[in-house]
Structure 1
Amino acid sequence: MLNKLPSSISALLDARTNGHSLPAGLYTREDVFEADLDVFFHKHWICVGLDCDVAEPGDATVVDIGRTSLILLRDDEGQLRVFHNVCRHRGSRLLDAGTTIVSKLVCPYHTWTYELTGELGFAPHMGKDFDKSCHNLKSVNFKSIEGLIYVCLSDDPPQDIDLLERTMTERLAPYDIRNARIAHQTDVIEDGNWKLTLENNRECYHCSANHPELCVSFVDLDFGFDPESLGEEDRLQAEEHFRLYEKRTRAWEADGYPSAAVEQLSECATNFRTQRLIISGAGESQTYDATAASSKLMGQMTRKDLGDTHLWGHNSWNHFMGDHAVVAIVIPLAAGKTLVRTKWLVHKDAMEGVDYNLDKLTDVWIATTDQDADLVARSHAGVLDPAYRPGPYSRFSETNLDKFATWYIDRMRAHGY
């Protein structure tokens, strides 16, 4: 049975038509879900958290990816560490889900005790000849890219994360994400496959009809439109918008703020895109009136008119603005269940009720995430229906979905499916 599994998935991959959504089984089948976890969440770089999740020595947080449990922590010297949440004795979990503060990592089963560097310091009743140094915690390959923590659970992580690292190190430096503070966090479980969650995020075809709060500040035309479907007035407005984009991008870059689109979406392992986007309306932030939610700007930022530096990967999307940032991390739970964990960041010294109003800070993306959860659930229910057939992507508004689906097929093939 196991020997037949890859060929069965391979048949689904073969069935995909370019320019169309994926065959139903690639969204719904349990064997595909297990393959996705192995390929995309174990053998590729994924975003799992932030430096400021563990801001102080002794801070620790647990992140679960399928059957794999990780501990993010900061050791006594202030160094970031990522370990497997597995005792080297008989495999017990060391820490429960959530955040905590620890001075050492003590296994609750037999009290094997580890330093925050991962070294085994105490293992009772194991005899004088027991070599503790052979039983340190297993560390995980990770990178902190200007405060965004990426891990790869493979011993052979993709090297092409270098472009992401070079690009975002420069772009994120002024926001000082490493030293930001998490003002709020939500966990929303969507009733849909993780790929539907990502597809929904990679297009704004649906935005004007479903995201009234977001569309105050977010320009849906930025991700494509059919010029022939627009009336004369709307077409002229769109043309003017893109002339303004070119002008703003040149001005931002002349002032030392990299802004042009950089993307690595095909023929690669590490999938990402970034660009500095214009914020509509008042032009300051993704809030209900497009003005800044926090009077204390992020990091070393001194301007509110620098738009939205967006970044997406295959399990995350992010928006970095002058006054705050929104970081969303996607974690598959089952073929039809996906966790979307959203964090709102502010300057480390910003005080709620003094420098910012929490409702204004969070309302837009709380509403947007809830709306998206409903859309993803509808999509998943549809692909489960026997009447579902892969439909054509819009060549104007959904080109990034076609690229994602093509990348998905290519990466599955690269790993033997």
Structure 2
Amino acid sequence: MQQHTAVLDLIKQRKTQHGLPGAAYNDPDVYRQECEQIWHREWIFAGHTFELEKPGQYLTLQIGDYPIAIVRGKDGNIRAFHNACRHRGSKICTEDKGKVAKLVCPYHKWTFELDGKLLYAGNMGPEFNTADHDLLPAHCEVVHSYIYVCVAKVAPDFEKFRSAVSPFIGPHHLEDCKVAFEANLVEKGNWKLVFENNRECYHCDGTHPELLQSYTEIASVQGISGEEDPELTAYWNTCEAGGLASRLVMDPAGQFRMTRIPLDHGASSYTMDGQPAVNRRLDRSGVENIGALLYFNYPSTWNHFLGDHALSFRVLPRGPGETVVTTKWLVPKDAQEGVDYDLERLTKVWMATNDQDRRLVEGAQVGVTSPAYQPGPYSQLVENGVCQFVDWYCELMTRRLAETETASQAI
């Protein structure tokens, strides 16, 4: 209970329209409570269904304390399991991804079916009942190829997010895509700094020359609707006439948001010349230049959808001061590298942007952990998106820590 109180008191120190106290980014107790109150309770983006095309294909991830394996079964269904053998806890799927006929524990060869049922456990005696030792499932939901998992005993409602995001991503036909390239970047910074950096482009002019060949900041990107700009409204109308949801939709609690923006300089894709990187289209709208659909879902993902390709980003913390950012470039399944797209051209802008952001996050981590650090005010002109993220974080943590305290006192 004392840990809950200390973390709650720390969060309450934050001033309105200001950053968090430095300890929020490096204190092990804060990180422990973030795992318990957020990462172990929310829906976390894991990967895409087309990464698991065939039965036996799996991918793994670590959500806080929980190792998770996601497997396509013989029946075609995708399931998530706690990646720990029911014998003595050994990790069953030991690679980031792979393909197996059965799920076999490497320690003592306990063998599980792809649906998690225990098939074989040697030397356990006649009284042993295999049905009592199936793999433990985790909650798993799929929306237009996006696999989300939740390790809580009771998962929060997923349908609100599904109904909001489906009109936006459905027309991009991600079910017919593949991963052209995947990059995993380890950033020596707190996961909140990673998201704070993503939620503003105040830093872009001096940091992201490659991205600014096409990307431009618009108020709706920050999650602040304000008054509609006539040009933006006309752009939305054109996209929506082609069946592409475009106008800002935001969760009242601030956890997710979707909107579509035009790109700058007449660009149609994230490339150095602004021209498409892939000579295929994801959408079938007939709209010549659909700009970029942007969506985030805290705490684990932000995404960009263009006419010719899409990018999904996954954020997973490894501790108070380390975060893994996974970027996947998604292209039509029938697109051939070297024929329909050049990989270096496809990935150049965001490979550079990600590394530039990594350096910013790592520099910020050093600064906020200084005993001399004092949180400064956010710009109300260009940092509303950052403030929105921190507001969401503080509201959620404050509410859940208070609930945990109340429950503890009642025991």
TM class by shorter-chain length?
Answer: over 0.9
Match in the other structure for 1:102? 100
Give the one of 241, 246, 261 matched to 1:259.
246
Match in the other structure for 1:245? 232
Give the one of 378, 384, 389 matched to 1:393.
378
Verify the 8 A CA contact 2:247 2:259 in the aligned structure 1: yes
Match in the other structure for 1:232? none
In structure 1, distance between residues paired with 2:313 and 2:286: 25
In structure 2, distance between residues paired with 1:361 and 1:242: 31
Closer, same or farther: CA 114–304 of 1 in aligned 2, 3 Å:
farther
Residues 247-285 of structure 1 show CA distances to partners (whole Å, capped at 9, x for unaligned) of 11112112321100011163x6xx111101111223311
In structure 2, distance between residues paired with 1:252 and 1:296: 18
Give the one of 143, 146, 165 matched to 1:145.
143
Residues 69-114 of structure 1 show CA distances to partners (whole Å, capped at 9, x for unaligned) of 1111111222111111011111111011311110000111111100
Verify the 8 A CA contact 1:46 1:150 in the aligned structure 2: yes
* Secondary structure in structure 2 of the residue aligned to 1:390: coil
Match in the other structure for 2:269? 285
Distance apart, 1:50 and its partner CA: 1.2
Verify the 8 A CA contact 2:220 2:248 in the aligned structure 1: no
Verify the 8 A CA contact 1:146 1:168 in the aligned structure 2: no
Larger mean Cα displacement after TM superposition, 127-136 or 29-38: 127-136
Verify the 8 A CA contact 1:285 1:322 in the aligned structure 2: yes
In structure 2, distance between residues paired with 1:255 and 1:68: 42
The Cα RMSD (Å) is 1.7
Q: Which amino acid is 1:184 matched to?
A: F
In structure 1, distance between residues paired with 2:221 and 2:176: 35
Q: Which amino acid is 1:246 matched to?
A: T
In structure 2, distance between residues paired with 1:348 and 1:249: 28
* Secondary structure in structure 2 of the residue aligned to 1:372: helix
Alignment partner of 1:331 is 2:316: yes
In structure 2, distance between residues paired with 1:336 and 1:265: 30
In structure 2, distance between residues paired with 1:207 and 1:388: 24
Q: Which amino acid is 2:32 matched to?
A: E
Distance apart, 1:124 and its partner CA: 1.5
In structure 2, distance between residues paired with 1:303 and 1:415: 45
In structure 2, distance between residues paired with 1:256 and 1:245: 17
In structure 2, distance between residues paired with 1:263 and 1:281: 27
Give the one of 328, 343, 349 matched to 1:358.
343
In structure 2, distance between residues paired with 1:337 and 1:60: 25
In structure 2, distance between residues paired with 1:16 and 1:337: 23
Give the one of 364, 376, 379 matched to 2:361.
376
TM-score, normalised by the number of residues in structure 2 = 0.92
Q: Which amino acid is 2:238 matched to?
A: A
Q: Which amino acid is 2:258 matched to?
A: T
Q: How many percent of aligned residue pairs carry the same amino acid?
A: 36
Match in the other structure for 1:131? 129
* Equivalenced residues, count: 396
Alignment partner of 1:311 is 2:295: yes
Contiguous gaps of at least 5 residues in structure 2: 223-227, 403-411
Distance apart, 1:299 and its partner CA: 5.9
Alignment partner of 1:189 is 2:186: yes
Verify the 8 A CA contact 1:73 1:80 in the aligned structure 2: yes
In structure 2, distance between residues paired with 1:351 and 1:61: 24
